[in-house]
Structure 1
Amino acid sequence: YCASGNRVGGLLALKAYWLDGVEPDDALEIGRQAGLTGLESAVQELLSQPR
C-alpha cells in the first residue's frame, strides 16, 4: 500500500496532462492534492515533454 499517495498523485498528474489536456502546472497541482511528494521532480520532468 502507498500510505502517502505519492505514486497515485504522480499518476493522476500525468493522466491530467496527457489524457485530459490539463496544463503542466495545473496537472502538477492535481498530483500534489492527491499526495504527490517525493516523485515530484520525476513527474515535472515528464510533464515537460510534448504530449
Structure 2
Amino acid sequence: MEGFMTPPKHINFNVKKLFGKMGEIQDGSIACLENGGGGPTENHVHMHEWKG
C-alpha cells in the first residue's frame, strides 16, 4: 500500500497521513487493519507529533 506505514509498537496496522494542521484540526489520517485485526502492542497516547 503506497504511502502507508506501520507505526512503532503496532502490528497488522497500517496508516497514512492525509493532511496536517488545518485551523483547529491537528491532522487527519486513515488506518487499514490487516485480516484478523491489529493495532498497538501496548497502551499509548497520541501527542500529535507524528510526521508520517
Report if TM-score (shorter chain) is over 0.5: no
Comparing both structures, which one devotes a greater share of its residues to helix?
1
TM-score, normalized by length of structure 1?
0.29
**Larger RCO (alpha carbons 8 Å, 6+ apart):** 1
Structure holding more strand per residue: 2
